[in-house]
Each structure stands twice: as structure tokens, then as C-alpha cells.
């Protein structure tokens, strides 16, 4: 508190009053002697930063997911980095039909036997995703067996969140057009709700995660089945 006051050139009582206001408006979390900016107000990480975060865990999840996908399946695969790893596993097999708004998946699909179909839309550079009205129009014509959905954060009772409204709309649209939805998210997303909720827990049949350690499911919550990679 004293350090903030000195840096800002104001009194500690003013700092205390301003932090109380920011906490009540849910912009910061109060801590002992200070405050932390809430996760939804942090700058979104780049695609490359997301890709290297928990990279080995994402690969474990991807192998488990791919093992559960039957040959000949039609899928929507979201633009997240865990979804990208799962797509890579399926592209190596070459026996599924994939609709996606992910630019990296489309590029890698060029060298696969799989049928890979782009949903139209506007390029969102930071996430390398196609979004907007063109993407949503493409989704409206689809019916897929399974949707792989990524997330920016999860809340134990409220479900899945993301940071950007256009990406939230694509995820919601994909959920509506799928026979079932599988959530692909490593454990670091747990209890990290961000700004926009796009799905309740009941919207997912399965959650693929590298471990269920510290994931405590509240009673009477319509929670999806947890799918954990087996040790090799």
C-alpha cells in the first residue's frame, strides 16, 4: 500500500479507497496489503505463447482424444492450441472429415488424406482463428458428430469462458450443431474464469484433461465425464 502511494504521489488512504472501489466493481482482487488485476482484464496471450504453455500436457490430452474418435467421424475442431494438437493426431490418421475455423489446422490439413473444410470469416490474428458472420453462417449449415471445443478458463459451477465475443459466438454455434461436445483443456484453466461465458457444464459430454488433481466437482453439478490420459 505504501509503495503504491509513493509511486502515484497520493496518500495511503486514497489508495485504499480506490482499491476498495475497484474491488467492488470486480476489476481487481484485494490481497493482503494490495491488489491483483483480475484475469479477464489481462492482455490476451499470443497464439505462440499459448502453444508453448503446458505443451506436453496438451499432447497427452490430444492422444487420449484421438484414441476415442471413431474412423469416418465428422468433426468441428475449434481454434485453440489443445484442439490443434488433437487435430494433428487425426490428420496423421487421415480417416476423419474436419470442419474448422483454425488457420493452423487448415494449413496442416493441406498434407493430410483427411477432408479438411474451412469455415469462412474474418481472420483474428492473435488467435489465428476465423470469426464473424461468415464463420457463423458456415456453422449454421453444419451437422457434425463431435465438436472439439477449447476454452480460456473454467469456473467450477458456471462452466467455460473465453476472452473475446466473436470467438464466444463461434464456440456457442458449434455446440448447437454437434451431436456431442468434448471440452479440451489442461488443468491450468481450472478456476480461471475470464470475461465471457459461452457454455455451461451440461453442454459438454466429456472433458479431456491431463489430470483430475485439485479438480473438486461441486455436488449436484451437471459435470461432464472426465477423460484422463493413461500413463505410458
Same domain, residue pair 195 and 94: yes
Q: What's the whole-number average pLDDT of the chain?
A: 88
Residue 42 lies in a domain: no
Domain of residue 120 covers: 47-227
Residue in 222, 201, 100, 106 with CA at minimum distance from that of residue 151: 201
Residue 146: closest CA among 75, 62, 68? 75
**pLDDT classification of 30: cutoffs 50, 70, 90:** low
Burial class (CB in 10 A: 0-12, 13-18, 19+), 192: middle
In this predicted model, which residue has the larger pLDDT, 222 or 184? 184
The Cα 31–Cα 88 span in angstroms is 42
The yes-or-no verdict on residue 97 having pLDDT over 70 is yes
155 in the same domain as 89:
yes
Q: What is the mean pLDDT of residues 34-41?
A: 56
Nearest to 101 by CA among 182, 14, 173: 173
Domain count along the chain: 2
Report pLDDT digits (tens) over 220-232. Answer: 888 999 999 986 5
pLDDT mean over 176-203 = 94
Neighbours of 106 (CB within 10 A): 18
Predicted local distance difference test score (pLDDT) of residue 9: 57
Residue 31 has what pLDDT? 67
pLDDT at residue number 35: 62
pLDDT at position 28 over 70 = no
pLDDT in tens, 109-150: 999 999 999 998 999 999 999 999 999 999 999 999 999 999
User: What residue ranges in 32-95 does DSSP mark as E strands?
Assistant: 34-37, 74-77
Residues 123, 26 share a domain: no
Amino acid at each position: 500500500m505504501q509503495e503504491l502511494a509513493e509511486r502515484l504521489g497520493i496518500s495511503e488512504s486514497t489508495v485504499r479507497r480506490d482499491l476498495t472501489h475497484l474491488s467492488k466493481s470486480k476489476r481487481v482482487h484485494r490481497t493482503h496489503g494490495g491488489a491483483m488485476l483480475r484475469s479477464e482484464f489481462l492482455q490476451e496471450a499470443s497464439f505462440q505463447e499459448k502453444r508453448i504453455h503446458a505443451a506436453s500436457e496438451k499432447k497427452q490430452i490430444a492422444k487420449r482424444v484421438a484414441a476415442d474418435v471413431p474412423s469416418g467421424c465428422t468433426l468441428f475442431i475449434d481454434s485453440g492450441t489443445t484442439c490443434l494438437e488433437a487435430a494433428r493426431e487425426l490428420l496423421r490418421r487421415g480417416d476423419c472429415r474436419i470442419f474448422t475455423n483454425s488457420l493452423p489446422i487448415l494449413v496442416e490439413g493441406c498434407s493430410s488424406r483427411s477432408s479438411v473444410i474451412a469455415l469462412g470469416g474474418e481472420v483474428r490474428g492473435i488467435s489465428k482463428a476465423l470469426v464473424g458472420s461468415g464463420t457463423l453462417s458456415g456453422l449454421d449449415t453444419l451437422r457434425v458428430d463431435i465438436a472439439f471445443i477449447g476454452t480460456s478458463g473454467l469456473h467450477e459451477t458456471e462452466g467455460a469462458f473465453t476472452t473475446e465475443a466473436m470467438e464466444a459466438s463461434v464456440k456457442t454455434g458449434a455446440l448447437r450443431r454437434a451431436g456431442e461436445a468434448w471440452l479440451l483443456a489442461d488443468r491450468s484453466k481450472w478456476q480461471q474464469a475470464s470475461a465471457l461465458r459461452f457454455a455451461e457444464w451440461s453442454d459438454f459430454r466429456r472433458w479431456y484433461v491431463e489430470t483430475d488433481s485439485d479438480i473438486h466437482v461441486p455436488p449436484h453439478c451437471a459435470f461432464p465425464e472426465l477423460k484422463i490420459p493413461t500413463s505410458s
